[in-house]
Chains A and B, each alone.
Chain A
């Protein structure tokens, strides 16, 4: 209570101009008015700037783009959405969603042990250490992290150097020769792109899982042990189901962030486009805002479905 100077309050109360008291009283009695005053600026901001923009985008996705004049006219058409089903565009969507799913699963698999150790075993200074050690890379600059991997994965870089020293070059070449995964070198393969994505988004998975595990009461696990469950059993039947909302919460980030990214696909991996690159190219180089807009509707719909599902699984309580 040391923040409260008890003697100071009454005296300042007496010396205060009466109008502030009058205003305070009105606001206190009319709760709705008070609420409206608080909410008006944020609602205006989000309503006008954010939702307004999203709406503008949605409307433009129905505009007509003329291939010959390269101009946009406000005539409504379904052509942009029909074009999404073209084989080439279809491929882009599948490629992006597939990568997002793979990155999400990998982040959960790699991140879970870290989160589990942080929540259940790290104590004292170790707990703080782990928390900072996950948080700093999470907040570290996105572009620097992406850049660092272009350095690491390039031919002559440290990974190739290490692989050569360990005489594993044939193994790496074998992996890179595989379809889908491979490519001419690590930095131009889907494997490389997948590595970078997993690296960049993994902290967003670790922290929600850690929070979820931390909230599982220890005595539940003790009870499971008392009832004769082996550690693996109580992990599988008690801890994992209770921690799962944390995994789903983390997956919202890993999935959504991969779905919309266009920088990493541009820096690392094979030539095939992602949704984000398509949006960027359509808008920037071609000036086809309607097609770019209809492309962005795809991740909006996917994320919308995903959020609905996540809500059912209780992920929002774990955020």
Chain B
């Protein structure tokens, strides 16, 4: 039931529109390509263009840097912890909100969106002020708690969309066949939700892995990868390493995002929804 086939004999875009559309894409990718290019630059300090020559040695140099590896490790750990929390809270919320109407539902909806709709600096400083009041000093868990709060929406959005498309008759049929709630969940609902959960989890992971603004407030002296990168910007000596790490960061998020895209694509029709 894809609409592509029908649109194939539709009108062709006027030239000016195509130019604007592809121009927009070039604008979106040009800076990223430049960082990729500079990572291979032989020259050590400046940003000068054109580049002087091609080398791979910065990749090796970066791989030997303890501080880089430590930052990557911390970022991965934080992202995994906050993704796990977001998966639990997000799917509970989705399960509660997808069909029922009740008092306060709108408010709950808003509450999930708020951490990403409000500027990150507000979430960041609010958490910091609360941690201070509670006399908790910044550590791994303060970072993860902050991240989980704004990651919930990624899981929630994905799962709730999937549940809304899943016909309720599937669950009823399962009950009619004698399955209890747990079995229905395990054998009917969960398989339908699985890819949505995975995609939501990946997006939450990517969001957390890259978060900077909230993290600067909740991290204390811990250095996640984005904070490490921010720290580098004033240091001319480390420019080549910074470029290489920038490329790594891009790759670490790009691959999961592509996977998440594959997982949610073509799921407009959930199995069984045709009747």
Binding site for B on A (CB under 8 A): 1-6, 8-10, 12-13, 16, 20-21, 23-25, 27-28, 31, 35, 38-39, 41-43, 45-46, 49-54, 56-57, 60, 110-111, 113-114, 116-118, 120-121, 123-124, 127-128, 130-137, 139-145, 147-152, 154, 156-158, 160-161, 199, 202-203, 206, 218, 252-253, 256-257, 259-263, 267, 275-276, 279-280, 283, 289, 292-293, 296, 299-300, 303, 307, 319
Contact = CB atoms under 8 A, between A and B. Distances in A.
Given A38-B95, A46-B149, A121 B17 contact: yes
Name the residue among A124, A141, A296 with the largest chain B CB count within 10 angstroms. A141
Contacts of B112: 46
25 contacts: A4-B188, A9-B179, A16-B182, A35-B102, A39-B92, A42-B92, A46-B112, A49-B149, A52-B130, A53-B123, A127-B4, A131-B261, A132-B258, A137-B32, A142-B226, A144-B229, A145-B32, A147-B246, A154-B47, A161-B50, A202-B27, A263-B213, A267-B233, A289-B132, A307-B117
A39 B10 contact: no
A135 B119 CA distance: 21
Contacts of B25: 114, 130, 133-134
Contacts of A158: 34, 49
B117 A252 contact: yes
B149 to A, nearest CB: 5
Interface in B220-265: 226, 229-230, 233, 242, 246, 249-250, 253-254, 257-258, 261, 265
B130 A280 contact: no
- The prevalent SS among residues of B at the interface is helix
A307 to B, nearest CB: 7
Nearest to A136: B254
Contact of B92 (A1, A41, A147): A41
5 A-B pairs with least C-beta separation = A260-B119, A24-B181, A117-B21, A113-B20, A24-B180
Given A135-B257, A299-B118, A303-B119, 14 more contacts: A1-B272, A3-B188, A4-B188, A5-B187, A23-B181, A120-B13, A121-B13, A123-B4, A140-B250, A141-B246, A148-B34, A154-B47, A156-B49, A256-B119
Interface in B20-51: 20-21, 24-25, 27-32, 34-35, 38, 46-50
Contact of B118 (A116, A142, A199, A256): A256
A276 B4 contact: no
B95 A151 contact: no
A151 B149 contact: no
Contacts of A10: 177-178
B254 to A, nearest CB: 6
Contact of A35 (B89, B100, B177, B213): B100
Contacts of B265: 128
B126 A54 contact: yes
A13 B122 contact: no
Contacts of B180: 13, 16, 20-21, 24-25
B12 interface: yes
Nearest to B118: A303
B249 A141 contact: yes
B84 interface: no
Given A9-B174, A42-B152, A139 B254 contact: yes
Contact of A53 (B85, B119, B129, B181): B129
B231 to A, nearest CB: 10
A136 B96 contact: no
